[in-house]
Copies of this chain bind each other. A is one copy, B any other.
């Protein structure tokens, strides 16, 4: 191996960092808590972004762009929102630097102090609803279905590459509707879009559910979520979709006149996923040799590596390799022919394994004589000889198969890791020994939820949609409960 990767068994957290750093996804920056997304990591995010963007547009949404800065006073307008959000933020207080009169470089010009501080957006409900006030007058202006791709900043004390960073990239949808029903339907539609994306593009199975009141977004009536399971048995919230009721419309006085000319406040939703998904993708599939990327969003789906000795052999393989690459490219496959002479095949094998390229094609002279190539799957490491004739169709099929099997593997793992617990002892033991989701009764109070969290670090990940009713007693308090909910330790 060219680059040493810590094994999952040795140190799961370090394994993750090794993959992100050595796999070329991201790097630390000079700014506390902010990361640099490197070209390979950004190409992965681009694929995710473009797929999601298409799904948003297919469901009738349009993109727009709102300011990075939000006046401080806006946060005070929605009472719950300010409690949940406005605290750990980057605050702009000045708008000019100047040369230090004492010659010590540049300093903040004390005369350029803002009358009202500006907050670097941690989320944009406030500035957007302040705008919607001028855009919405009548039912004819509704629904308003807008999405924004943007950077946001939340001043996190403990950060981890992709999973929790001070600045991150995301999309935030903000929609406005004439009725409560329509807004709830939108919230659930977008939850479905997220689940569809996670499962069919990222090959990461997710549970759709609703958050307990204490885990709700600040200002929401209901927060829906998709929850994924990582290989270490910890859960990861992969996306949220909020039904905001009329809270923001009331805070920013956004009313519309309906068909009967009656004035009412507008109903709202917001929903978002972020670069955190890249972290989820890494942790859901990869192994001790590196990343394993699902074909649908892998920046590179196939790499072709020639095996040769000497210039003459190289030239023979070069023309054949380029031809094959073109053939695959024309079939819509993202392919690279790596004939770089600076690195040996063994180094390349390890490098593309580390980078998680789904399919590797090795090509030597003997293969050419036999009109075959050696094809290796990254996910299972299986190798097979594949005839060159009709190879586009075979590789296309193989990529589809890999995509499906990666999902199935993650799905089987997830299913094995949803375990019912009926006593407190069992609950604690399962959390420590098995991990995953624990399905247990909860009395519905914030007090029990908080106590469980303090004792075990496990949180209620969600109440699954269409959860069956079942009488029981709370795992913690012994009080009566009407349904089980899913607990887990989480990222």
Identify the A interface with B (CB < 8 A): 27, 29-31, 34-39, 42-43, 45-46, 62-76, 82, 86-98, 105-106, 108, 117-120, 127, 130-131, 134-135, 140, 146, 150-151, 153, 155, 167, 169, 342
Top-5 shortest CB links A-B: A39-B62, A34-B67, A37-B65, A91-B94, A76-B105
Contact check, B106 vs A31: say whether CB atoms are below 8 A apart. Answer: no
Instruction: Decide if B30 touches A74 in the complex (CB within 8 Å).
Output: yes
Q: What separation, in Å, do the CA atoms of A96 and B120 have in the docked complex? A: 11
Whether A62 and B42, one on each chain, are in contact in the complex, defined by CB atoms closer than 8 angstroms, is: yes
A97 touches B93 (CB 8 A): no
A87 to chain B: which residues have CB within 8 Å?
96-98
Write the chain B residue with the least CB distance to A118: B31
> Do residues A39 and B64 form an inter-chain contact, with CB atoms below 8 A?
yes
Given A36-B66, A105-B76, the answer on whether A90 and B95 have CB atoms closer than 8 Å is yes
From the candidates B31, B74, B118, B342, name the one contacting A90 in the complex (CB within 8 A). Answer: B118
Given contacts A118-B31, A131-B29, whether A67 and B106 have CB atoms under 8 Å apart is no
Chain B residue contacts of A105, Cβ below 8 A: 73, 76
Residue of B nearest to A165 (CB): B67
A82 to B150, CA, bound (A): 27
Q: Which residue of B lies closest to A100 (CB)?
A: B76
| CB atoms of A97 and B75 under 8 A apart | yes
Give the chain B neighbours of A146 by CB distance below 8 A. 39
Which of B71, B95, B98, B167 lies in contact with A69, CB distance below 8 A?
B167
Q: Is the CB of A167 within 8 A of B75?
A: no
Question: B residues within 8 A CB of A76?
Answer: 105-106
Contact B72 A106 (CB under 8 A): yes
Kindly list chain B residues whose C-beta atoms are within 8 Å of the C-beta of A98. Answer: 87
Q: Are A88 and B95 in contact (CB under 8 A)?
A: yes
Q: A36-B131, A91-B94, A119-B97 are contacts. A31–B151 as well, Cβ < 8 Å?
A: no
Question: Complex: how many Å from CA A94 to CA B74?
Answer: 18
- Contact across chains for B106 and A96 when beta carbons are under 8 A apart: no
A70 to chain B: which residues have CB within 8 Å?
31
Report the minimum CB–CB distance from A261 to chain B (whole Å): 15
Additional A-B contact list (8), CB under 8 Å, known A27-B135, A76-B105 = A34-B69, A39-B63, A82-B106, A87-B96, A87-B97, A90-B95, A93-B94, A151-B151
Contact A36 B62 (CB under 8 A): no
Closest to A85 in B: B97
Please tell me if the beta carbons of A96 and B92 are within 8 angstroms of each other in the complex: no
Q: Of the candidates B27, B42, B94, B140, which one forms a contact with A342 in the assembled complex, judged by CB atoms under 8 Å apart? A: B140
Please state if A68 and B151 are interface contacts (CB–CB under 8 Å). Answer: yes
Complex alpha-carbon distance, A135 and B87, angstroms = 35
Offer 15 A-B interface pairs, CB within 8 angstroms, sorted by A: A29-B66, A29-B131, A34-B68, A36-B64, A37-B64, A37-B65, A38-B64, A43-B62, A45-B65, A68-B120, A73-B105, A91-B92, A91-B94, A92-B92, A120-B120
* A65 contacts across to B, CB distance below 8 A: 36-37, 42, 45, 169
A86 touches B97 (CB 8 A): yes
- Closest Cβ of chain B: how far from A294's Cβ, in Å? 21
Q: How far is the CB of A17 from chain B (nearest CB, A)?
A: 16
A92 to chain B: closest residue by CB? B90
Query: Chain B contacts of A120 at CB under 8 A?
Result: 68, 92, 120
Task: Closest B residue to A150 by CB, please name it.
Answer: B151
Partner of A71, one of B31, B64, B130: B31
A29 — nearest CB in chain B belongs to which residue?
Answer: B67
CB pair A30 B167 closer than 8 Å: no
Interface centre among A75, A95, A130 (most CB of B within 10 A): A95
A288 shortest CB reach to chain B, Å: 26
Q: Which residues of chain B are within 8 angstroms of A39 by Cβ–Cβ distance?
A: 62-64, 146
Cβ-defined contact, B69 with A31, below 8 A: yes
Whether B96 lies near A155 (C-beta < 8 A) is: yes
Residue among A92, A118, A131 with the highest chain B CB neighbour number at 10 A: A92
**Contact between chains at A67 and B36 (CB < 8 Å):** yes
The distance in angstroms between the C-alpha atoms of A111 and B336, with both chains bound, is 53
Question: Given A63-B43, A108-B117, A118-B31: A93 and B91 within 8 A (CB)?
Answer: yes
Q: Which residues of B contact A117 (CB under 8 A)?
A: 108
